[in-house]
Structure 1
Amino acid sequence: MSAITLCRLNDITDGGALGLPEHQQLHPGGLVAVRQGEQVRVYINRCPHFSVPLDYRPQEFCTYRGKILMCAHHSAMFRFEDGHCIDGPCKGARLEPVPVRWVEDRLVLDLEPQQ
Structure 2
Amino acid sequence: MSELFLCDVDDIEDGRAISVSALVSGTQQALVLVRRDEEVFAYINECPHFSVRLDYRPGKFEVYQKRVLMCAHHSALFRIEDGYCIEGPCAGNRLQIVPVSVVEGAVFRTSSLA
Aligned to 1:84: 84
Aligned residues of 1:29 and 1:53 also touching (Cα < 8 A): no
5+ long unaligned stretches in structure 2: none
- CA distance in 2 between counterparts of 1:113 and 1:92 reads 27
Shift of 1:78: 0.4
Q: State the one-letter code of the partner of 1:81.
A: E
Relative distance call for 1:32 and 1:112 in structure 2 (3 A) is same
Q: Which has the higher strand share?
A: 2
Q: State the aligned residue count.
A: 112
- CA distance in 2 between counterparts of 1:36 and 1:112 reads 25
Q: State the one-letter code of the partner of 2:53.
A: P
What's the Cα RMSD here? 1.8
Kindly indicate whether residue 103 of structure 2 is the aligned counterpart of residue 103 of structure 1. Answer: yes
SS in 1 for 2:57: coil
Aligned residues of 1:32 and 1:42 also touching (Cα < 8 A): yes
Kindly indicate whether residue 55 of structure 2 is the aligned counterpart of residue 55 of structure 1. Answer: yes
SS in 2 for 1:101: strand
Give the structure-1-normalised TM-score.
0.87
Relative distance call for 1:58 and 1:105 in structure 2 (3 A) is same
- How is 1:1-115 mapped onto 2 (pairs within 5 angstroms)? 1-20=1-20, 22-23=21-22, 25-26=23-24, 30-110=30-110, 112=112
Aligned residues of 1:29 and 1:46 also touching (Cα < 8 A): no
Give the structure-2-normalised TM-score.
0.88
Aligned residues of 2:15 and 2:37 also touching (Cα < 8 A): yes
